[in-house]
Amino acid sequence: MKFKGYRRPDGSVGVRNHILIIPSVFCANKTVESIARQVKGAIPITHPVGCGQIGYDFELTARTLIAMGNHPNVAAVLVVGLGCERFKPTELYEGIKKSGKPVEMIVIQDEGGTSSTIDKGVKIALGFAKKELAKTPEDCDFSELTVAVKCGGTDATSGLAANPAVGEMADLIVSNGGSVILSELNELLGTEDMLASRAVNKEVADKVYSAVYGIEEKMRKKIDTQYEGRNELISPGNYDGGVSNIVEKALGGVYKGGTSPVVDVIEYSIPPEKGKKGLFLMNYESHDGEVVTGMVGSGAQIVVFTSGRGNPTGFPFVPVIKVTGNDVMYQKMIQNFDFDASGIIKGENSLEETGKNLFQLLNNVANGELTTAELLEADELFCIARA
């Protein structure tokens, strides 16, 4: 199979072609937004960090922001710094420059203030846009596509229809040479035996157990008995939707990964080993934005996101395909969904047929069809993880 993609200097392939404006620190957020607002095709990536961080927390910020700039859906990057932050704009600039794509850096304190920085930034971004956005996509092999699978706002129909349909799609992606990333490990507690049994070898199986048990231990340490009502691992919406505990949610959520072998366990915002293809598990606990951001940082060019309760979120520069198995919610929030899998529950469509239809939609999106989240310019899922 082929899809129309944008080949980057480092050999990676994007399904979209955006100019990214990235602040190295939250102090530059408004400046970045002002620049992006004046240049068609430019997207601001704002965040609340970049200073006042130490250790692994600081590492996650640096790693993630560099990964955003290196992402294959991004054609060129403008880095905007303040000048006195912990995360130096030069580190962000140099980290992105290694990809070979066009990147420039401006620093507010060096430019003499906000207005002059915005003026210079607009000129740079316009130059990027004129050159990069005129490029046409080329035929690319399906093996160069990586898809992240995620659920949020889970209800009973998620595990019965939407997630299994995504799993069917995931198997089709892998069988056609592509890759899939599954994560949110705190919502996969209890499925570690199932995942480890599908590992390609003992080393990967051990990684599966280590990752899941590590997340479980991390969750256990966070429990404080004086905050009894704050210790729930599932949301009120999950309860209302018919999911009574984390095990039920996990047994429904694991279906998103299909039945393909687990080829490796990868770390947050770090791409798989070059040349490795198939189903990957990303080692991180669940928060919709943080998990999706990590999977995008690991190279996913498209996100497939299931929701039984309804979820309007999107990602700034990666198409998010919204899927539901809840017919009532699909009708209520049709403007936020791309695919209705409820026919499985109603007996109108088989699981296999639904998975094939979802795979076809995925292929259409890879070839440029816009998702509802893109049309609504939803960008809430970009969220840098905190240690």
- Residue-wise pLDDT for 325-334, tens only, equals 999 999 999 9
Band of the pLDDT at 335, cuts 50, 70, 90? very high
Report H helices in the chain: 29-37, 55-70, 89-97, 108-111, 114-132, 156-157, 163-175, 192-196, 202-222, 236-240, 246-253, 288-297, 327-332, 343-346, 351-366, 372-375
Comparing CA positions, the residue from 62, 60, 27 lying closest to residue 46 is 27
By residue count, the chain amounts to 387
pLDDT in tens, 108-138: 999 999 999 999 999 999 999 999 999 999 9
Predicted pLDDT at 244: 64
- Rounded to the nearest 10°, the torsion over CA 293, 324, 365, 15 is 10
Predicted pLDDT at 274: 92
Tell me the percentage of the chain whose pLDDT exceeds 90: 84
Structure tokens belonging to residue 151? 């659920």
Rounded CA-CA distance 289/278 in Å is: 23
Structure tokens belonging to residue 381? 């899922």
Rounded CA-CA distance 381/186 in Å is: 18
pLDDT at residue 245 greater than cutoff 90:
no
Band of the pLDDT at 240, cuts 50, 70, 90? low
Rounded CA-CA distance 315/64 in Å is: 14
Amino acid found at 144:
E
Band of the pLDDT at 202, cuts 50, 70, 90? very high
Comparing CA positions, the residue from 252, 224, 226 lying closest to residue 238 is 252
Rounded CA-CA distance 156/149 in Å is: 18
Spatial strand order in the sheet of 2-7? 13-14, 2-7, 138-141
Considering only residues 335 and 244, tell me which one the structure prediction assigns the higher pLDDT.
335
Please enumerate in sequence order all residues whose Cβ is within 8 A of that of 129, keeping only pairs 6 or more positions apart, or say none: 19, 39, 40, 41, 42
- 203 and 386 in contact (C-beta within 8 Å)? no
Band of the pLDDT at 154, cuts 50, 70, 90? confident
pTM > 0.85: yes
